[in-house]
Amino acid sequence: MQKLVVEGGHPLQGTVPISGAKNAALPLLAATLLAPGEHKLENVPGLADVSMMLSLLGRLGCPSLWNGKLRLETSRIFFSEAPHDLVRKMRASVLVLGPLLARTGHALVSLPGGCAIGVRPIDQHLKGLEALGCRFELSDGYVHGRVDRLRGADIQLDVPTVGGTENILMAAVLAEGHTTLRNAAAEPEIEDLVRFLRSLGARIEGEGSSTLEIDGVTSLRPSAAGYRIMPDRIEAGTYLVAGAITGGKVTCIDTDPVHLDTTIDALRRAGCEVRVDGNAVTVERTGPLRPVDIVTRPHPGFPTDMQAQLTALLTLAQGTSTITETIFENRFMHVAELHRMGADIRVQSNTAVVQGVVGLKGAAVMATDLRASAGLVLAALAARGSSEILRLHHLDRGYEALVPKLQGIGAHICRVDSEARAPRAELHTGMSATA
Ligand code: EPU
């Protein structure tokens, strides 16, 4: 077991290269099942979740080679099962459901169940796939799906679910006839999936809006020329907050500023200067932080995946901020840990009322989920003294090279075995034991 040791209170300065997006990579990897042959993907982030998706594809019979670029061979599928041991570790495994049904006519996928941030049902995935002709049985914790022939349909989602939209879309591209998917999610990662599917020969219109129009095709070809995954907007947003919370100046490069507009807007309202130059975004804070009110919403609203990071930032604002979470019912797990660092936050129903404090103090804190962990790292970077962040497997799921990237902008952070104490010299030279 390892932990992060952070010596806070140092303004971060410098440039961070942004990796490929986890939440685009995972559905794209599942989508390769739709087109038999060798796929090439670029900008695949080195993350535990990506490795897990590759293991799942490997178990289905699709081997991969990953050295800089990713090559994935999907010519044959020997099994159609996403077993519990993988789905339990990564909910996004459920994204193979639509592709497996479209490719093989059957799929056995463990039900993902709830997780640290909410109940997270998949009823909308199943509703949409049923409308396309699939039949499902639920038994022993598994959903068993079958279909003879997928047929296009007019589908109205009850909630604009990201994963549900992706699963239904991936099945509809190989359905006979036309599908209209209404109240679809419009997240940039879905636009990336649409672009990828189009590069395989799929016929889809409407990405980025709440209605997707899909004309089914009989087959798709693999992405032999190589498809480049979009940059991770949540990773970029997290590093921008790192600059802001420490009163520094941080530039994220290789990013897409268009996808960061709500985060940039929140940072500006909080009193930071933000400049956009091509694919680079720079945040700079020289004055005090101002309070901000934020409500998470499906895209194009403020992303729930940036909520914990903004909560950490606003603990240091001069005044009272409110943060309302409307996507997941249990996404304030970081609040209790932020209290241990001296934050003043009251949670009332789905709103956190954040009363800014003059400073945070380092503490030992426990990460509960990926973005909560990111929020705790940010708070630790700004806190006086030393902090320890435990349960790093959450961060490994979603932040490629977190420690070296933070060291590269001057953070005093290192990763050590849980029992070990970080030597002070190591923290100050930025040398990491295991990064
Ligand atoms: N929902 C339903 N029924 C469904 C599906 C979803 O009621 O069939 C509800 C959920 O319970 C939730 C809401 O709809 O309250 C939104 O869930 P959604 O399906 O959109 O989320 P997801 O596809 O499970 C993806 C990201 C999450 C991100 C959410 C929201 C991936 C792999 N995961 O999850 O990312 O928070 O969209 O934007 O794309 C993260 O990266 O830390 C993360 C949790």
Residue 110's alpha-carbon distances to 107, 144, 197, in angstroms, are 10, 9, 25
Residue 264's alpha-carbon distances to 2, 251, 256, in angstroms, are 33, 13, 12
Of all residues in the chain, what percent carry a pLDDT higher than 90?
A: 89
Residue 90, SS3?
coil
Read off the pLDDT band of 322 (50, 70, 90). very high
pLDDT at 128: 98
* Mean pLDDT computed over 242-267: 98
Find the largest Cα–Cα distance for the chain.
65
- Asked if the model's pLDDT at residue 428 lies above 50, the reply is no
Active-site hit among 115, 134, 252, 414: 115
Read off the pLDDT band of 423 (50, 70, 90). low
Give per-residue pLDDT as tens, 53-95. 999 999 999 999 998 899 999 999 999 999 999 888 899 999 9
Q: Is the CB of 305 under 6 A from ligand 1?
A: yes
Read off the pLDDT band of 427 (50, 70, 90). low
Read off the pLDDT band of 117 (50, 70, 90). confident
Give per-residue pLDDT as tens, 335-363. 999 999 999 999 999 999 999 999 999 99
Residue 109, SS3?
strand
- Asked if the model's pLDDT at residue 365 lies above 70, the reply is yes
Residue 359's alpha-carbon distances to 9, 208, 356, in angstroms, are 10, 40, 9
Closest C-alpha to ligand 1, atom 26: 23
272 belongs to the catalytic site? no
Ligand 1 atom nearest to CA at 185: 20
pLDDT at 118: 73
* Mean pLDDT computed over 16-40: 98
Q: Is the CB of 370 under 6 A from ligand 1?
A: yes
Give per-residue pLDDT as tens, 234-244. 999 999 999 99
Of all residues in the chain, what percent carry a pLDDT higher than 70?
A: 96
Q: Is the CB of 92 under 6 A from ligand 1?
A: yes
In terms of pLDDT, which residue wins out, 425 or 111?
111
Closest C-alpha to ligand 1, atom 21: 162
pLDDT at 113: 66
Closest C-alpha to ligand 1, atom 17: 161
* Mean pLDDT computed over 276-291: 97
Question: Ligand 1 test: best mutation among 86, 127, 161, most atoms within 8 Å of CB?
Answer: 161
Domains of the chain: 2-19+231-427 (3.65.10.10), 22-228 (3.65.10.10)
In terms of pLDDT, which residue wins out, 423 or 132?
132
Q: Is the CB of 165 under 6 A from ligand 1?
A: no
Closest C-alpha to ligand 1, atom 36: 305
